[in-house]
Amino acid sequence: MTLDDILGSLFPDGHEIRKDKGVLLGWATPRCGEKMLVVGVADLTALGVDEAIRLSGHLLASIGRDSGPILVLVDSDSQRMSKRDELLGLNEFLAHLAKVLIHADMSGRPTIGLLYGHSAAGALLATGLATRVLIGLPGAYPAVMDLPSMAKVTKLSMEALEEKAKSTPVFAPGLSNLVQMGAVHMTWSNDVSLADQLKVLLADLPAARDQRDALGKARGGRLKAADIAERVRDLALQAL
Amino acid sequence: MSAPLKDITPAERARSTSFHEASARTRLELLLDAGSFVEFIGPEQREVSPHLKIFDLPEQFDDGIVVGRGRLDGSPVFVAAQEGRFMGGAFGEVHGAKLTGLLRAARQIALIPVLILFDTGGVRLQEANAGELAIAEIMRAVMEARSAGVKVIGLIGGRSGCYGGGGLIAGCCSALAVSEPGRIAVSGPEVIETNRGVEEFDSRDRALVWRTMGGKHRRLLGAADVFADDNVQDFREAALELLGLIGSFGLDSLKAEQERLADRLSRYGACLDAIDIWTAQGIACAETVPELPADQFIALADEIGRTSRDAR
């Protein structure tokens, strides 16, 4: 699905979302429910300092003033890999964007990520992975690390890596692996209108509590994370 | 005449120990009040990564991170220290979950600060999805803890620097102390060179790496609050100083950070090199900054001031 198809299906009554240099900013009103603030990265655009500051600025102009959920659309490259971005402190700009999204979610503006194309590494951390609920659309192809780069570092052949990827979701790219890890909460269907699926989601949003480790455990993708975190938490609380 | 070892005070030992060279455990031992450290899920529990064996790689019993509690000048603190010598201090499933659990406890208690001694190349490649997600969970846990009033301080001066998702977590902290060898960035020099070519970034040009990502530039830019000399005692004093300075976190902090970062872009967005930025900041002989000894650099940085306070 193209971005226009997705927006048309999500908001059949129209929307005010503008795309400028790969960044999506605007508003839309779902069929049932409150007006939503919408931000995003489109067209496989790399997320650099210039993109990140516009996204966080749009969000901050609304937080504390408006109400309603926030939708984050994602079809990006990874973070922009350049001397200029690092020189200017890209880590702060990406962290800032994630912080704004997390703060919004904690203060009554539930955040929903919609991963409809690619994303990777720092760009995914600052967008989709900083939302309360991350939805995957069929055809999305996130990759924390691509297999050719991994083959280079691990000195294993692509065939060997592909073979290993069959038995574990822990390192290989792809939407289904991120679902199993608990990073992506659910995958929507292309056969039902996205507006209807959004309506169902908005009617029954999960609580603003990070449950991705429990989800990863239940789905068999991350068997240790939830237990280790819980054990450390208990030990730390006993220290009082 | 050298004094017998037992006559050396802990502070003297900490002063003479390079933070950069020390192991994670030594850093913690010398950073905290003597004998106060208690580890949570120590190596004796052998909670290793369940994924490294897929790649026939050696495991480490603490999975490259030490977490626990201790005291700093008598007051309780939670601490986490990454071991840069194991898998480059990279975040894997177990490694990350230990820090997440610590931050969740800190949030619940809402009184005890957290010190994170970063030393990381970012996500552990062999468990990339678990590592990436662990970083996302840590970022969320840092912000939830800060929102509950917890001070979260990052100390950066390790061999592996603070790269990838580590740089994003650092950007979520209430305040950072950094030493000259501590580097903070998202993409590492080799990653930029591999993806964009040597014309974009020559990773073998070490001077370029230091002045683009190193501690001095990060302090002058306002990305870090305090510059520490490369010894454990200086990091201890920096942590104590920051604990006294940090204010509360809320929407105003984020608005101030937006302004701070937007201002940085408009002032220095066209600069091609760190030296151009330092010159634009009004530093005379900016090209000599990399050679300045710590005390002279700190004096210079203090003149520039702290742009980041209450704006992160």
B-chain CB neighbours of A96 within 8 Å are 171, 254, 257-258, 261
- Whether the Cβ atoms of residue A68 and residue A36 lie closer than 8 Å to each other: yes
Nearest to A49 among B128, B265, B312 (CB): B265
The rounded distance, in Å, linking the Cα atoms of B253 and B239 is 20
In whole angstroms, what separates CA A99 from the centre of its chain? 13
B-chain CB neighbours of A149 within 8 Å are 194
A157 at the B interface (CB within 8 A)?
A: no
Contact B129 A181 (CB under 8 A): yes
Which of 244-263 (B) contact A at CB < 8 A? 251, 254-255, 257-258, 261-262
Contact B105 A50 (CB under 8 A): no
Burial class (CB in 10 A: 0-12, 13-18, 19+), A191: exposed
Fold topology of A3-144+183-208 = 2-enoyl-CoA Hydratase; Chain A, domain 1 (3.90.226)
Nearest to B191 among A63, A81, A210 (CB): A81
pLDDT tens digits along A214-239: 999 999 999 999 999 999 999 999 97
- Whether the Cβ atoms of residue A104 and residue A135 lie closer than 8 Å to each other: no
pLDDT tens digits along A37-75: 999 999 999 999 999 999 999 999 999 999 999 999 999
The rounded distance, in Å, linking the Cα atoms of B93 and B135 is 9
Contact A125 B139 (CB under 8 A): yes
- Whether the Cβ atoms of residue B162 and residue B168 lie closer than 8 Å to each other: no
pLDDT tens digits along A75-110: 999 999 999 999 999 999 999 999 999 999 999 999
A63 at the B interface (CB within 8 A)?
A: yes
Domain ranges of chain A: 3-144+183-208
A217 at the B interface (CB within 8 A)?
A: no
pLDDT tens digits along A4-46: 999 999 999 999 999 999 999 999 999 888 899 999 999 999 9
Task: Using alpha carbons, select from A27, A25, A147, A46 the residue that is nearest to residue A93.
Answer: A46
> What are the angstrom distances between the C-alpha of B269 and each of A21, A50, B276, B281?
17, 9, 11, 13
Q: What is the largest CA-CA distance in chain B?
A: 57
- Backbone phi and psi for residue A112, each to the nearest 5 degrees, phi listed first: -125, 125
Q: Which pLDDT value is given to residue B3?
A: 52
> What are the angstrom distances between the C-alpha of B309 and each of A211, B175, B253, B312?
32, 8, 9, 7
Nearest to B143 among A79, A99, A229 (CB): A99
Give the pLDDT band of residue B4 (cuts 50, 70, 90): low
pLDDT tens digits along B91-136: 999 999 999 999 999 999 999 999 999 999 999 999 999 999 999 9
Q: What is the mean pLDDT of residues B134-148?
A: 98
Nearest to A236 among B105, B167, B217 (CB): B105
pLDDT tens digits along A116-171: 999 999 999 999 999 999 999 999 999 987 777 778 777 888 898 888 888 889 99
Q: Which pLDDT value is given to residue B13?
A: 95
Model confidence at B51: pLDDT above 90: yes
Please give, rounded to a whole number of angstroms, the shortest distance from the CA of A81 to a CA of chain B. 5
The rounded distance, in Å, linking the Cα atoms of B38 and B77 is 11
Beta bridge partners of B79: B68, B115
Q: Which pLDDT value is given to residue B31?
A: 98
- Whether the Cβ atoms of residue A99 and residue B143 lie closer than 8 Å to each other: yes
Model confidence at B178: pLDDT above 70: yes
3-state secondary structure of A158: helix
Task: Using alpha carbons, select from B293, B141, B161 the residue that is nearest to residue B224.
Answer: B161
Model confidence at B10: pLDDT above 50: yes
Q: Which pLDDT value is given to residue A153?
A: 73
A130 at the B interface (CB within 8 A)?
A: yes
Residues belonging to chain B: 312
Question: What percent of chain B clears pLDDT 70, i.e. is strictly above it?
Answer: 97
Model confidence at A202: pLDDT above 90: yes
Task: Using alpha carbons, select from A8, A9, A26 the residue that is nearest to residue A17.
Answer: A26
Please give, rounded to a whole number of angstroms, the shortest distance from the CA of A93 to a CA of chain B. 7
A104 at the B interface (CB within 8 A)?
A: no
Q: What is the mean pLDDT of residues A182-201?
A: 96
Specify the DSSP element, H or E, that contains B217: helix B215-221
- Whether the Cβ atoms of residue A197 and residue A185 lie closer than 8 Å to each other: no
Q: How many A-B residue pairs are in contact by the CB < 8 A criterion?
A: 276
Q: What is the mean pLDDT of residues B3-10?
A: 73
DSSP state of B223: S
Beta bridge partners of B65: B82
Please give, rounded to a whole number of angstroms, the shortest distance from the CA of B8 to a CA of chain A. 30
What are the tokens at B13?
A: 């030992």
- Tell me the one-letter amino acid at B219: R
A206 at the B interface (CB within 8 A)?
A: no
Q: What is the dihedral of CA B280, A54, A178, B165, to 10 degrees?
A: 20
The alpha helices in chain A, defined as continuous H runs, are 3-10, 49-62, 83-87, 90-106, 121-126, 147-154, 158-167, 175-181, 194-203, 212-218, 225-238
Q: Which pLDDT value is given to residue A147?
A: 79
Q: What is the mean pLDDT of residues A165-187?
A: 94
The rounded distance, in Å, linking the Cα atoms of B89 and A159 is 28
Q: Which pLDDT value is given to residue B1?
A: 46
Nearest to A231 among B41, B164, B251 (CB): B41
B102 at the A interface (CB within 8 A)?
A: yes
Q: Which pLDDT value is given to residue A134?
A: 98
Unique residue bearing structure tokens 């702060």: A92
A-chain CB neighbours of B106 within 8 Å are 236
The rounded distance, in Å, linking the Cα atoms of B122 and B129 is 12
3-state secondary structure of B66: strand
Is the ipTM, as predicted for this complex, more than 0.85? yes
Which of 36-95 (B) contact A at CB < 8 A? 38, 40-41, 47, 50-51, 54-55, 67, 69, 76, 78, 93-94
pLDDT tens digits along B247-286: 999 999 999 999 999 999 999 999 999 999 999 999 999 9
- Whether the Cβ atoms of residue A122 and residue A47 lie closer than 8 Å to each other: yes
Q: Which pLDDT value is given to residue A188?
A: 98
Report pTM.
0.97
The rounded distance, in Å, linking the Cα atoms of B126 and B142 is 25
CB count, 10 Å around CB of B190?
12
